[in-house]
Amino acid sequence: SVDPMTYEAQFFGFTPQTCMLRIYIAFQDYLFEVMQAVEQVILKKLDGIPGCEISPVQIRKCTEKFLCFMKGRFDNLFGKMEELFLQLILRIPPHILLPEDKCQESHPCSEEEIQLLQQEIEQLQEKYKTELRTREALLAELEEQKIVQAKLRQTLTLFDELENVGRDRGTNDFREGLVFLVQNSRKLQNIRDNVERESK
Amino acid sequence: FDEIIVDLTTKRKQYPRKILECVIKTIKAQHE
Amino acid sequence: TISRVKLLDTMVDTFLQKLVAAGSYKRFSDCYKRFYQLQPDMTQRIYDKFITQLQASIREEICEIKEEGNLEAVLNSLDKIVEEGRDRKEPAWRPSGIPEKDLCSIMAPYFLQQRDTLRHHVQKQEAKNRQLADAILAGRKQVEELQLQIQARQQAFQALHREQRELLAVLRE
């Protein structure tokens, strides 16, 4: 079973196996290229030797023999290197969490919990709106109260002014004012009676 | 298979951040 | 702990050493025996060149791969991440394969923050409304008092008015 190493791919942006394949193919190409170059050089040298009995086919056979051996060792060694690469270099240890996934452990949250959270948020939003509407209503009543209180104070002021009128006349309230009036009118009556008697 | 893995894991790396950006924008808009 | 970059270089060096050891000059001259017998010096030089070229090509390839994927920086950052998590032992979280599920924990901090902010706003508004409500109750009380005062003044006034009428009636008589 292939381990897709998806967590590593999430970190590196490529799968480690692909990376190794890329390295393997590149190394293998170099091995073939260098072998080809060796063969070319040998053939060229042989061309320069007069009466040489070694044919290109023979040289090719030598090359294939050496390359076959080298390729075997190459694959074996590369297999070991790949194993180490995938274990020690291109691997995210199982106990390691990538930075972008930190909150998976700092705030582990199931789908149910997130739904509850969203419900709570909606309820809070409703509650907040209710509180705002309450605030509007309360402010409206406060305004109303101010007007009513102003009117009531106005009425009280009216009564005060009435009393003040009385006070201006030397009495400190309306009742006394009235009594004062009555006394005055009696005095006037007495004066009038006196005047009438005198005149008879 | 390799391409699928790389495509999927790239999404795993990038999409949460993109989604979060939208979520944060939404939350800010709701606040406003 | 050895850095991943150093580990990589060491592994490639070891790979090359072993590969070169496997492809020894003896092996090489055995395969090209007749050429070797004809031109031993030339064979040695070609072999040396072969090994040098192979090692140079492979090392160059590794450098290219490092540069291409910015591998050194990536491996160093992985070293850092592993170093930070070195105290942990239990297996860490891994994607579940269900995006909706994995997304929950990513969004949770922001929803929690939103919830706390809303809670704070609601509590603040509730407190303000309580103050307003108290003010309104006080205001209602005050209105009541004013009404009582006015009522009292009005009744006193009416009583006076009644007395006035009685007095005037008496006077008129």
Residues A58-81: tens digit of each pLDDT: 999 999 999 999 999 999 999 999
- Return the structure tokens found at A48: 């320069």
**C-beta atoms of C31 and A117 within 8 A:** no
C-alpha count within 13 angstroms, C-beta hemisphere, residue C46:
24
What is the Cα–Cα distance from A137 to A146, expressed in whole angstroms? 14
- Quick one: three-class SS letters along B6-17? HHHHHHHHHHHH
In whole angstroms, give the CA distance from residue C5 to residue C66.
9
A108 pLDDT more than 60: yes
Per-residue pLDDT, B21: 94
In chain B, residues with a C-beta closer than 8 Å to the C-beta of C102 are 12, 16
Quick: pLDDT tens for C85-129: 989 889 999 999 999 999 999 899 899 999 999 999 999 999 999
Q: How far apart are CA A118 and CA C108, in angstroms?
A: 10
Residue B7, classified by CB atoms within 10 Å of its CB into exposed (0-12), middle (13-18) or buried (19+), is exposed
pLDDT for residue A166: 64
Residue C19 is nearest to which of A33, A77, A156, comparing CB atoms? A77
Instruction: Give the span between the Cα atoms of C108 and A102, in whole angstroms.
Output: 12
- What burial class does residue C108 get, using C-beta atoms within 10 Å of its C-beta: 0-12 exposed, 13-18 middle, 19+ buried? buried
Report the alpha-carbon distance of residue A166 to residue B20 in Å, rounded: 78
Query: What are the residue ranges in chain C where pLDDT is below 50?
Result: none
- Name the residue among A82, C63, A177, A101 with its Cα closest to residue B12: A101
C window 11-50, beta carbon within 8 A of A = 11-12, 14-15, 18-19, 22-23, 27-28, 31-35, 38-39, 42, 46, 49-50
> Is the pLDDT score of A19 beyond 60?
yes
CA distance A15 to chain B (A): 7
Q: In the A/B pair of chains, how many CB contacts fall below 8 A?
A: 31
Exposure class string for A101-130: b at 16+ Cβ within 10 A, else e: bebbeebebeeeebeebeebbeebeebbee
Residue A141 binned pLDDT confidence (cut-offs 50, 70, 90): very high
In chain C, % helix, strand, coil (3-state, to 5) comes to 85, 0, 15
Spatial CB neighbours of C58, under 8 Å, sequence gap ≥ 6: A26, A27, A30, C12, C16
The average confidence (pLDDT) of chain A is 90
CB pairs under 8 A between A and C: 236
Is the pLDDT reported for residue A174 higher than 80? no
Tell me what pLDDT residue A178 has. 72
In 3-state terms, what secondary structure has residue C90? Answer: coil
Contact A108 C93 (CB under 8 A): yes
pLDDT value, residue A51 = 81
Supply the mean pLDDT for chain C: 91
Tokens of C122: 């609601």
Residues A84 and A91: their CA atoms lie apart, in Å, by 10
Cα A87 to Cα A89: distance, rounded to the nearest angstrom: 6
Give the residue among C54, C64, C59, C29 at the shortest CA–CA distance from C44.
Answer: C29
Q: Does C109 touch chain B (CB under 8 A)?
A: no
Task: For residue B25, give the chain C residue with the closest CA.
Answer: C110
Q: Which two tokens stand for residue A160?
A: 């005060």
Angle among Cα C74, A13, A24 to the nearest 5 degrees reads 85
**What value does the CA radius of gyration of chain C take, rounded to a whole number of Å?**
49
Backbone φ and ψ for C96, nearest 5 degrees, come out as: -85, -15
Q: Which of residues A2 and C144 earns the better pLDDT score? A: C144
In the numeric block, which tokens belong to residue A173?
A: 């309230």
Provide mean pLDDT across the span A157-177: 72
- What is the spatial distance between Cα C72 and Cα A7, in angstroms, rounded to a whole number? 19
Gyration radius of chain A over CA positions: 57
> In A13-110, which ranges are continuous DSSP H helix?
16-47, 56-84, 102-106
pTM of the model: 0.73
Q: How far is CA A99 from the centre of its chain?
A: 17
